[in-house]
Structure 1
Amino acid sequence: MLTFHFRPAALLGMVALAAFSCNQKPSGAAAEHSTESSLADLKVHDGLEVTLFASEPMFSNPTNIAIDERGRVWVCEAYNYRSEYNIKNPVKKEGDRIMILEDTDGDGKADKSKVFYQGTDVNSALGIALLGNKVIISCSPNVFVFTDDNGDDVPDKKEIFFKGIQGLQHDHGMHSFVFGPDGRLYFNFGNAGVSLLNPAGDTVVDVHGHKVVTNGKPFREGMVMRCDVDGSHVEVLGNNFRNNFEVTLDPYGTMWQSDNDDDGNKGTRINYVMEYGNYGYRDEMTGASWGSRRTNMEKEIPFRHWHLNDPGVVPNVLQTGSGSPAGITVYEGDLLPEVFRGQMIHAEPGHNVVRSYPVENDGAGYKATIVNILEGQKDQWFRPADVAIAPDGSLFVADWYDPGVGGHQVGDLDRGRIYRVAPKGSKYTTPKTDISTIDGAVAALTNPNAAVRYLGWNALAAAGDKAEPALENLWKGNNARQKAQALWLLTRLPKSDDYLAQALGDTDANIRITGIRVARMLKKDILPIALKLQNDGSPQVRREVALAIRGNSSAEAAEVWTALAQQYDGKDRWYLEALGISAEGNSDAYFSAWKKKVGADWNTPANRDIVWRSRSKYAMPLLAELIKKSNDQEMLRYFRAFDFQTDASKQQVLTQLVQQSQGDRLLYALKHMDASKLKMTPAITTALNKVLEQKKGKIEFVELVTLFKLQNRSSDLLQLAIQYPDSAVGKESAKVLLNWNKMDLMQKTINGNNKDNAQAMVKALWPLMYNLKTIAIMESIMMDSTKDIELRKLAVKTFGGPWEAEDHLLELAKENKIPADLQTAAGGVFQTAWRGTLRAEAAKYLKLPGSKTGTALPAIAVMVEKHGDVAKGQQVFKTLCVTCHKVKGEGVNFGPELSEIGDKLPKEALYTSILFPDQGISFGFEGYRFKLNDGSSAFGRIVSETEDKVEVQYMGNQQTVAKENITSRTKLETSLMPSNLQSSMTEEELVDLVEYLSTLKKDERVSKN
């Protein structure tokens, strides 16, 4: 689906359902997914009602929406969503559309639609922003600005605003632009964005002199940025997100957004974007993935996912678990209940819900809870992709409406809905926007609709002094959010300093925060302001002071930082990170000033945190002192801090620790050294060899051998790869050998007489199939007909996954180089590939296994479209399958229970499981081969294991093996299910069998043919 990095939902085998025409009464599946049915299924927050504003056939697949000052809804349509992956789906050759939907008769439903623009250049556009007569459309690799000079809803000009965003149509590319209360544009891209180029094709350099590229120098992965309305003065405001879908702002200039985790890790999150913060998706220094081993790694994956134990990572406002976070906005109206006013409203298609996150202060940062606004109850097709606020304050929700969400797949092309949420009985009306008067412009500025606010802001900015009295009325009012909106404009006037001084002395902390941000934007001398507010009672205000002095190398700034640091309470991670961000570029000076001030009192709980977070070289000797005296867990925390130090003196500090340490402290002192910058002394060599002997066979051994480049230990790594091919120890050992180009050692093992060792070597290398050297090794095994057939099949299986390997296997298929006895194995790799284009292409060159008649079966995509006889399929099952599987209590409990298999797998996956059983062995049903000391062997799956025996089952036979008689056990990479089961059936019988299996569902209803 669209721009959300969504859970790859099981869309295999789903067929798009055509939308029924308006004069037909829906029935069956169409009735289940009719607008009437989907609307009735929605549960709305107390006091509110949901109504249908628009639906298909006006448009389909809405990815992003915006509402103009006339109350019209603009829609980015994605009929052609990722068409290169969804090859079974039709496409519109004319391209996707930007639609305008309008309610002309006042009944709350759109009755008129028009196409603003259509073209392949906006296929699957993921963002739309309405700025007067300009429309910004985000569609990676480009951002377009369309200009409608005469107001006829037809663009007179199309220009490139930015380009070079990587990933054509990619969900993790460029998202929406938002006009901020300061008159600038805010935007973001996800971790596929990679770079930002100007219209001339030059890499954008931000206002701090950094190229906007994600190469780690200094930015990584997803970013949040802002720029002037003409695209100039780009500034990167935060980085290292995964797929931050949209950024939104409140009137104070505080930025909020959601971010998606890697699939299945329950780490989706809501962020307050503290300016210039690192948000921890990858290792800040190395770019290593969150799953890579590191010191002091978080115990729980949702927190590990964001490197939250690392110094230099801004915490999260809220972690929401699983999901697919999408469009977000801040609600500035008063039509909805109090709980939603001034709060984020967010579309979450993964959980079929629109919700709000009421925010509370949390030290220098924020925390939030969840309040649902609109949720699907039973209809899992409700996929809210975006939210927008209308001029009357009502909430509009764009519903992608699809059986699945994300993973670059789509199950339905023809549907899409837009709902309106408002108090019960609230008629949809649009207040007139008249910016020709000052009062009308002020009313527009305070309107909850973004497009109206833009018009009001620009009218007031253009009015200059004439707008001052009306803006001053807002400024003197009791509504803090409107005061902030007025302040951004008042400080552009001649009396700017007066208003700024009032803001900095205001009793409301948010107004003081806004004042600091205004002063920075206007490039005021920040030191007098910092000195005035450095002891402010609000930690959030002090946070802003810290951010404001970032980059200031003066001694006065260092003193301000010291005063701020002395107020850290030892608990507030937000505050600590603000101090760290503040010191960037001046860490030594700021830290020295602080250390001089605290003197011998540096070793307090709060001050130890400041030492841990600092990037100053003067912090390292203090870290070493803390390590010597800390407990085991604290020790790990302080050792991890060394990874973020870059000064050459780090090696000297760690060398002293090596000489003074024993046990784990010695191990970690060695692990955190940089061997490339280290002079090896006899003392270090002795200590290293001592630890290596202690840790032999463990991952720490591999890490030290790698770190110190001990190629004389290559044979040790080889043995570890063979002994532990399924563990991190074995796989990392193989990776090091590959990096060191020890091909001779690995080839000798693969070509040797020990089949188990050869298989283990292949398994250890399996995760490295993105590497051309590994691909060459596996190809050589495939092509060697003298090798064991099971080893060759395993080599073929390793080609599944990395695109480099899959593409190479496809080339071999095209060149007819895949041996005949490996055609089925290769077919299994292709059939389970994620890319539909690859599956379709490979089907042209490989034949599926033959049926009972000896003829090759047609492609699975062809058989999926066929309908079999359920009763006949049940007979086939009883003949061929009950010897291994149980259904409704009948059969043998050897393979997986199949009573509900129709709920779990679509037809395509059922065919794949039968024809290519090696490709998806169920957990707990792996096969093992045991060699016994009398020369015999046992074979099957383990059904139970105790300290002294193993129970092994093969089909209906079970045997008990005493562990004292086992000399070795080998896990099989092939399924215990026969690989030629289809040869016992005709094509028709196979189709009947799959038809029967697809009816085996939880409700036990079996359809009759």
Structure 2
Amino acid sequence: MQVATRIIVAVALIMFTACSKKQSQSEEHSPEASLADLKVYDGLEVTLFASEPMFSNPTNMDIDARGRVWVCEAYNYRNQYNPKNPVKKEGDRIMILEDTDGDGKADNSKVFYQGTDINAALGICVLGNKVIVSCSPNVFVFTDENGDDVPDKKEILFQGIKGVQHDHAIHAFLFGPDGRLYFNMGNEGVLLVNAKGDTVRDVHGNKVVSNGKPYRDGMALRCNLDGSDVEVIGNNFRNNYELTVDPFGTVWQSDNDDDGNKATRINYVMEAGNFGYKDEMTGASWYKRRTNVEKEIPFRHWHLNDPGVVPNLLQTGAGSPTGITMYEGTMLPQIFQGQLIHAEPGHNVVRSYTITNDGAGYKAEIVNILEGQNDQWFRPADVTIAPDGSLFVADWYDPGVGGHQVADVDRGRIYRIAKPKAGYTISPSDVSTPEGAVQALISPNAATRYTGWNALASFGEQAEQSLAKLWTSENLRHRAQALWLLTRLPNKADIYLAQASADKESDIRIAAIRIAKLLKRDILPVAAKLANDSSAQVRREVALALCGNATPEAAALWTQLALQYNGNDRWYLEALGIGAAQTEDLYFNSWKQKVGKDWSTVPNRDIVWRSRSKNAMPLLAELIKSSDEREMLRYYRAFDFHKDPLKQTVLTQLVQQTQGDKVLYALKHMDASKLKMTPPVMTALNKVLEQYKGELQYVELVSLFKLQRHADDLLQIGIHYPDSVKGKEAIKALLDWDRTDLIDKILSSPNRDEGQAMIKALWPYMYDKKTIAIMEDVMMDTSKEMELRKLAVKTFGGPWESEDRLLLLAKEKKIPITLQAAAAGVFQTAWRATLREEAAKYLRLPGSKEGTSLPTVSILVDKTGDAAKGKAVFKTICSSCHRLNNEGVEFGPDLSEISDKLPKEAIYTAILYPDQGISFGYEGWRIKLADGSSAFGRIISETEDKIDVQYMNNSQTVLKENILSRTKLESSLMPSNLQAIMTEQELVDLVEYLSTLKK
């Protein structure tokens, strides 16, 4: 019997193996399989609420007061970058999913709206019969006037937003406890235009444009329900995907870093704060050199050492943060109540950030709620709270983190997290009475809170009794929700503001300050009452509220607040800086007069460092004189944030009054374009140039002061140190000065090493038309060596500007046949899939043994080879350079586990276009010897007196005393025409075999 069972099992396994890959993948990624893979927090249950084919690719969702889930689809998301994906010509959809029988599973699905104007919408907010849909370049308001779930009207709330089909653009709207709309847009949003077509000006008269005047990159904003009175409440974010607001009016959001820098973050959005993605004054990217730079990239990324940058609540490393919400319910365990809940598709997890007070700011710890254990397709894109307090999670469900290279457009799931066995029966709130409206106001569901708020606001004085009862309740968050409405009642604002500002709870006192600002009350009486508050967070809010108040009384209150700074609270320090932003001299002078000779105590040094008053600069100079080499960098960096002409005078004095590196940094922080070059400055500059000649500092000063008489020196630095920062910066200065004559001279010389060095030094600037033109000339010049021309072609990869130019040359059939394989390699490794597909139409791709061009890599990948035959091909062709399972020659990388490192597409690319990705340690070198000969190959060892060089299975030893020069090659040692000695089928078989090599 056991034998028979084994036979049946074996047959079943054979039959299963014979099934198609598609069927296997379908089962592996079925809704049932993905649900089974999820791990939920102890004491909770995760269930599948809805999945494909009801909808697909959910980007954002909201839940209405009836418990129905509204979902934005992104079937058509960035199909220009994903040409293989299908397209819905009718456009993407807004879906409504409903559970009609209360079992926790959607059984009804309907289309609210479909159109190409909402392709890949990234935000939805349901407010009664209105639905706000965010889809760059527009924010639409749909109105369903008769309740039939079909919009009767579509209006534009905002338009003109850049970043169309870009997830760094406009995001979801949210109704706040103050009755305003909160929203954000990332660094691609650029500007906001109203329905009339006018660029929006905010409440301070500033245009809402991310050009640094005054706002930069991503912004967090709020406005009235009709779009009026826009206010930028924070700026200089990168991809601040979504925000949320707590009952006290505190704003929280996530922000994504430049990919790969492990710097994603969660922000408390301090009002009017700068959050440091770009240099506040110049707009320079985080990787640009600056004085007092942070040691670690995740902190450097946000300019956290710069005065005027609000600190991060929490940095969460690598990731791709998306939807966020504040949990106001009680169904989830206590640890999540009143806390942030956040979707992190990059880590396949839904998290809570448990927030606690930290001085004038906050700190947070991560607690996971829902995790994908093995299924890496779990990509939570959004989180939303239902009226019963259960948590809903929208799962984009894709092998990538959604985004540009979305691979699956047909799947999508929505999960519900609740107490075990909890049904899902929602009874809409009755807001026909103030009592019922109050119950709606304190709902965990945002749409329900809106209906309650709206009804209570319309009741006016009739709502006071019910609201006053809530105001005196034990629940702090409910009290705050009542306070916002009570202070709107006729002639009652001052009464409730007085109560709130004297409340024992600091969060209520904070709300009182914010309400006073909203109601445009004279802030000074409230500020005077709370300026010595026991809570640093309350004092923080007082400082922020003083911003723009140019009265002596306000200056005195700011001084009072500044005197309480303890020297160890960056949140508090930044609040002081923001509070003084428009009245720097008035506030600083008041403080300086009060502290007198004690201005240089440890806490007061921070006040000087953070201040933008011109009168802080002489004090910065005094601190520099008395500081050590490390501490001085902090104070020198502070000068970069001052605009007053006094800066040049103070720095000039430092040049004359200090020694060593203090002189160097004084020169580096001058504005050379506005400097009067006096003899003492010129003398000091020449002395420093002589001291640092040939070093990076030399290049920086020559570039800063535009000393073109040193152009030849920069040229030599560039060609001798092309891989270093100083070499690349030296050549950049020549480009800025239009000294292309010097560059052309090197590229036209017979010295190929210098020519290669020049190309390498120019490479980082291929976004510039000038550099592109130089490389194009090299590429087309048949008198130049082929190796140099191929290297020039290679530089076109990376920046979109140069890639687009190379594609245009291909379309115009201007790329020589001898360089088409090199150009194809550039396109094959391009990030944009459409570029790869388009270029293949115009370029002659590498040829096979049969003499015909091979198909594109995307076609080769879909072919199935014979791994056994591929093993024979490997032994014949590849084993002379590569080892595999301890056999072969160790000249190229060991391929024993290549499939763990590279997918099929990358293996094909490595064979067909080896120059596009040279493995570390396997670079080629050309070594010139004193006797006129050369050594060529890979350096396998190096000692003080000799170098061992290997080429394939031959090696030689070179004494260093005989070496004239050595140059690292930018072309691979692997033959660039390896495919030409194989048939197409042999190549496919080889890759099939290599794709089986795993641990």
Q: Which residue of 2 aligns with 1:557?
A: 554
Distance in 1 between residues matched to 2:602 and 2:965, nearest whole Å: 53
Q: Which residue of 1 aligns with 2:983?
A: 986
Q: Which residue of 2 aligns with 1:328?
A: 324
How far 1:111 moved relative to its partner?
A: 0.8
* 1:389-426 Cα shifts (integer Å, max 9, x gaps): 00000000000110011451111111111000112222
Q: Which residue of 2 aligns with 1:214?
A: 210
Paired residue secondary structure (2:782): coil
Kept in 2, the 8 Å contact 1:504–1:516? The answer is yes
Q: Which residue of 2 aligns with 1:154?
A: 150
Distance in 1 between residues matched to 2:768 and 2:57, nearest whole Å: 38
Q: Which residue of 1 aligns with 2:570?
A: 573
How far 1:942 moved relative to its partner?
A: 2.1
Q: Which residue of 2 aligns with 1:720?
A: 717
What are the residue-to-residue correspondences of 1:33-52 with 2, within 5 Å?
Answer: 33-52=29-48
What are the residue-to-residue correspondences of 1:468-617 with 2, within 5 Å?
Answer: 468-493=464-489, 494-617=491-614
What are the residue-to-residue correspondences of 1:798-809 with 2, within 5 Å?
Answer: 798-809=795-806
2:671 is the alignment partner of 1:674: yes
How far 1:943 moved relative to its partner?
A: 2.2
2:290 is the alignment partner of 1:284: no
Q: Choose the corresponding residue for 1:925, options 922, 926, 931.
A: 922
2:94 is the alignment partner of 1:98: yes
2:274 is the alignment partner of 1:258: no
Paired residue secondary structure (2:193): coil
Q: Choose the corresponding residue for 2:423, options 420, 427, 433.
A: 427
Kept in 1, the 8 Å contact 2:121–2:133? The answer is yes
Moved more, 692-701 or 138-147: 692-701
Kept in 1, the 8 Å contact 2:817–2:844? The answer is no
Q: Which residue of 2 aligns with 1:975?
A: 972
Distance in 1 between residues matched to 2:674 and 2:402, nearest whole Å: 45
Q: Which residue of 1 aligns with 2:636?
A: 639
How far 1:958 moved relative to its partner?
A: 2.6
Paired residue secondary structure (1:176): coil
2:659 is the alignment partner of 1:701: no
Distance in 1 between residues matched to 2:954 and 2:73, nearest whole Å: 58
Q: Choose the corresponding residue for 2:443, options 435, 447, 457.
A: 447
Distance in 2 between residues matched to 1:951 and 1:238, nearest whole Å: 58
2:873 is the alignment partner of 1:880: no
Matched to 1:811, the amino acid is L
Distance in 2 between residues matched to 1:391 and 1:959, nearest whole Å: 76
Matched to 2:822, the amino acid is A
* 1:694-733 Cα shifts (integer Å, max 9, x gaps): 1112111111011111011110110011011111111111
Kept in 1, the 8 Å contact 2:188–2:218? The answer is yes
Kept in 2, the 8 Å contact 1:65–1:398? The answer is yes
Q: Choose the corresponding residue for 1:300, options 293, 296, 318.
A: 296
Moved more, 295-304 or 926-935: 926-935
- TM-score, length-normalised on structure 2? 0.97
Q: Which residue of 2 aligns with 1:205?
A: 201
Moved more, 830-839 or 556-565: 830-839
Q: Which residue of 1 aligns with 2:10?
A: none
How far 1:837 moved relative to its partner?
A: 1.6
Q: Choose the corresponding residue for 2:786, options 785, 789, 801.
A: 789
Distance in 1 between residues matched to 2:959 and 2:392, nearest whole Å: 67
Q: Choose the corresponding residue for 1:864, options 861, 866, 880.
A: 861
* 1:443-468 Cα shifts (integer Å, max 9, x gaps): 10000000000000000000001110
Moved more, 692-701 or 320-329: 692-701
Q: Which residue of 2 aligns with 1:688?
A: 685
Moved more, 336-345 or 756-765: 756-765
Q: Which residue of 2 aligns with 1:392?
A: 388
Kept in 2, the 8 Å contact 1:257–1:272? The answer is yes
* 1:463-501 Cα shifts (integer Å, max 9, x gaps): 001110000001011111000000000001121111110
2:448 is the alignment partner of 1:456: no
Q: Which residue of 2 aligns with 1:622?
A: 619
Distance in 2 between residues matched to 1:60 and 1:258, nearest whole Å: 24
Kept in 1, the 8 Å contact 2:101–2:425? The answer is no
Kept in 2, the 8 Å contact 1:799–1:809? The answer is yes
2:908 is the alignment partner of 1:911: yes
Kept in 2, the 8 Å contact 1:26–1:34? The answer is no
Distance in 2 between residues matched to 1:892 and 1:549, nearest whole Å: 73
Name the CA shift for 1:751/1:27 in 2 (closer, same or farther; >3 Å): closer
Q: Which residue of 2 aligns with 1:234?
A: 230
Paired residue secondary structure (1:100): strand
How far 1:933 moved relative to its partner?
A: 1.7
* 1:951-984 Cα shifts (integer Å, max 9, x gaps): 2222222333222222111010100110000001
Kept in 2, the 8 Å contact 1:867–1:991? The answer is yes
What are the residue-to-residue correspondences of 1:750-769 with 2, within 5 Å?
Answer: 750-769=747-766
Matched to 1:858, the amino acid is P
Q: Which residue of 2 aligns with 1:831?
A: 828
Structure 1's consecutive aligned runs of 4 or more residues displaced over 4 angstroms after TM superposition are: 24-27
Structure with more contact order per residue of length (Cα contacts < 8 Å, sep ≥ 6): 1
Kept in 1, the 8 Å contact 2:99–2:424? The answer is no
Matched to 2:860, the amino acid is M
Distance in 1 between residues matched to 2:551 and 2:402, nearest whole Å: 50
Q: Which residue of 2 aligns with 1:736?
A: 733
Distance in 2 between residues matched to 1:784 and 1:373, nearest whole Å: 61
Kept in 2, the 8 Å contact 1:198–1:204? The answer is yes
How far 1:889 moved relative to its partner?
A: 2.4
| Percentage identity across paired residues of the two chains | 73
2:899 is the alignment partner of 1:902: yes
Paired residue secondary structure (2:630): helix
Matched to 1:112, the amino acid is N
* 1:503-538 Cα shifts (integer Å, max 9, x gaps): 000000000000000000000000111111110010
Q: Which residue of 1 aligns with 2:3?
A: none
How far 1:263 moved relative to its partner?
A: 0.9
Q: Choose the corresponding residue for 1:949, options 946, 949, 953.
A: 946
Kept in 2, the 8 Å contact 1:94–1:119? The answer is yes
* 1:875-932 Cα shifts (integer Å, max 9, x gaps): 1111111111222222222212222222322222221111110011112211111112
Q: Which residue of 1 aligns with 2:309?
A: 313
Matched to 2:799, the amino acid is P
Matched to 1:33, the amino acid is H
2:359 is the alignment partner of 1:363: yes
Matched to 1:362, the amino acid is D
Kept in 2, the 8 Å contact 1:442–1:460? The answer is yes
Distance in 1 between residues matched to 2:108 and 2:957, nearest whole Å: 74
Matched to 2:238, the amino acid is R
* 1:300-346 Cα shifts (integer Å, max 9, x gaps): 00000000000000001111100000000000001000000000000
How far 1:25 moved relative to its partner?
A: 14
Distance in 1 between residues matched to 2:638 and 2:227, nearest whole Å: 38
Q: Choose the corresponding residue for 1:188, options 169, 184, 187.
A: 184
Kept in 1, the 8 Å contact 2:140–2:154? The answer is yes
Distance in 2 between residues matched to 1:921 and 1:27, nearest whole Å: 37
* 1:200-245 Cα shifts (integer Å, max 9, x gaps): 2111000001000011011101000000000000000100001001
Distance in 1 between residues matched to 2:983 and 2:973, nearest whole Å: 22
How far 1:117 moved relative to its partner?
A: 0.5
Kept in 2, the 8 Å contact 1:392–1:431? The answer is no
Distance in 1 between residues matched to 2:779 and 2:574, nearest whole Å: 53
Kept in 1, the 8 Å contact 2:379–2:402? The answer is no
Kept in 1, the 8 Å contact 2:67–2:387? The answer is yes
Distance in 2 between residues matched to 1:174 and 1:86, nearest whole Å: 22
Distance in 2 between residues matched to 1:174 and 1:384, nearest whole Å: 19
Q: Which residue of 2 aligns with 1:173?
A: 169
